[in-house]
Amino acid sequence: MVSIIGAKYSGHDAGIFLLEKENEPFGLDKERITRQKHDINFPYECLKFVSNKLKGQNVVVAFSDSNVSLKSTVKECDKNFHIKDYLSWRKENIGEKTVKDNFTYKIASKIYRSKLVRPFDNYLTKNYLKKKVKSCLPNSKLIDVERYDHHLCHAAAAYHFSNFKKALSITLDGWGDYYCSRVFLCDDKIRYITGTRGEDSIGQTYTSFTEALGLTPNSDEGKVEALAAYGARDNDLYKKLREEIIVEGLKIKIKNKNLVKRELWEVEKVFKPLVQKYGDKDSAAAIQQVLEETGVKLIQNAVDEFGIKYLCFSGGVFANVIMNLKIFEEVKPKNMYIIPAMSDSGTSQGAVVLSALKHGFNISNFTKSEMPYYGPEYNEDSIKSAIEKFKDKIKVQISEDWTKHAAELIEKGNVIGIYHGKMEYGPRALGNRSILADPRDIKVKDVINHTIKRRVWYQPFCPSVLESERQRLFENSYKHKHMAIAFYVKEKYRDKIPAIMHIDGTARPQFVEKKDNPNYFSLLSRFKKLTNYGILLNTSFNLHGRTIVMTPEDALQDFIDCGLDYLFLEKYLIKVKK
């Protein structure tokens, strides 16, 4: 028997995705272990996490990003710092002179891209990666190491997990294997049509605005999207950007290449003056509106050309829920699937699919799950051990009917954490690692933002909603379960459930059915019995700057640190000692 591991090792969102015959999918990002958001470099910790499970097995490891050179691979695998250290280093060490004068680097890059050197470099890179994998899986037999194109991995994951028969799978991100977007026609097999090179990356432009606004690139783009709702649309900056960023057929074109700059000194030189001139809110609004219009135009052109209205989306730009809403409203697809792990972590999910198909696996059972509860699950002994570790700081009681108890505590105004079952894979907490509150109470937004999560004031919170409540509470929508698109709350309910709504009247919901998550469905149903609203404010269980909790110890540590009223650790009800 062969087990296949998909892996992402180059750049942010390192992680793995595992396929074993007869077993459910398992996905784990490095950030959940190190607790550094979007963590970078080789996923040693993730491979070691599954090493016992794979003991004695034949293993194939399929990496996304097929064009990473040996030089870059060695740098990625052997550096010993997390993403927060990289960002600090970048600010201190990369300047205009350094980049412009690095003649050796430029020549090396040109040599690497040559047809003579590239195959040899790929051979050496594969051998180097094999050594790294073997060091993490010493008791497994490594059959092979494979490498797949970045955007093909994105597209394959979205298409196969959508369970659509015939569809377009479209990617859009900052940069990967020289491209920022690719269009694929899918009908059992995946056929590449065309793409946009990285030098025309609107994702990179958006990230540069993120950094110019004083936020963290490749992490805080969602804050720009949230801030945009407070700015004036159709402002002068928007008009300037609209002239420079266009869509021609299935490709994005950016006329002024200064708008696709990556280095810090370039951001300081090009983007900071724009933000200073137009202000934070209007700058955010300008780039957000251009992104929405660009995304809609690109997707509409693809639908028009191929006549296919089943759409699959992947890549970090599709984390922009307002752009996704505009696509839904204006393109009017028959169905659309935004893969829950839309960022680069999803490329490991795609790599495992591509390798499985290559090796003749039937992946229909593997890809049929609607909910991405692919992460680790901890047994009662692990939970008891964690409780014992923190016993001097907490009070514990057993709640035999914990979903009923949780609903009652929320209805009384408490903000609680819940931790049960398998951890979510992807950036959204979908009811297994969540902080929950009453959506009817507008004051809980400030409580959670300022006291618990310690986030910026303008970030909205999202709801989990019973699917049976969807048409009652929301305008035009579809059965979406992963918090990857926003919809408008109906006008007559906006003052009834204000805590889950942004200033523009939108919310980013998870619509819940019993089959998705029986415990969470029970909690929502019981809250509806108490309040007549089958909806809860749901935000990820973590402090700002940390990742979603993975282990029972993570849950207890964040609970103690953040000021939640109660924590349900499976059936154990926990409160901090005063």
Residues 260-286: tens digit of each pLDDT: 876 767 788 899 999 999 999 999 999
Residue 578 pLDDT level (bands cut at 50, 70, 90): confident
Which pLDDT score, from 0 to 100, does residue 69 have? 66
pLDDT at 75: 64
Reported as a single tens digit per residue, the pLDDT across 37-57 is: 888 888 999 999 999 999 999
Q: What is the pLDDT of residue 242?
A: 97
Contact between 129 and 62 under an 8 Å Cβ cutoff? The reply is no
- 10/18 Cα distance (integer angstroms): 18
Residue 82's pLDDT is 53
Calculated CA dihedral for residues 380, 384, 385, 386, nearest 10 degrees: 100
- Tokens in use for 260? 């696709």
pLDDT of amino acid 89: 44
Q: Is residue 15 pLDDT above 60, yes or no?
A: yes
How much is the pLDDT for 545?
A: 81
* CA–CA separation, 59 and 66 (whole Å): 19
Say if residue 76's pLDDT is above 90: no
Q: Which residue has the tokens 């929320």?
A: 410
| pLDDT tens figures, 120-153 | 667 678 888 999 999 999 999 999 999 999 999 9
For residue 87 the two structure tokens come to 């960002």
Mean pLDDT over all residues of the chain?
91
Q: State the Cα–Cα distance between residues 435 and 559, nearest whole angstrom.
A: 10
Q: What is the Cα–Cα distance from 45 to 31, expressed in whole angstroms?
A: 10
Report yes or no: 258 and 199 within 8 Å, Cβ to Cβ: no
Q: Which residues of 337-374 are buried (b: 16+ CB within 10 A; e: fewer)?
A: bbbbbbbbbbbbbbbbbbbbbeeebeeeebbeeebbbb
Look at residue 350 in the predicted model and tell me its pLDDT.
Answer: 98
Edge to edge, the sheet with strand 416-419 lists: 394-398, 572-576, 566-569, 416-419, 433-437, 535-540, 462-466, 510-512
Domains along the chain with CATH numbers: 2-148+348-358 (3.30.420), 153-338 (3.30.420.40), 380-576 (3.90.870.20)
Give the per-residue pLDDT at 306.
Answer: 98
CA–CA gap between residue 395 and residue 497 (Å, rounded)? 32
* Residue 356, pLDDT score: 95
> Could you say which DSSP state residue 462 is in?
E
Length of the chain: 578
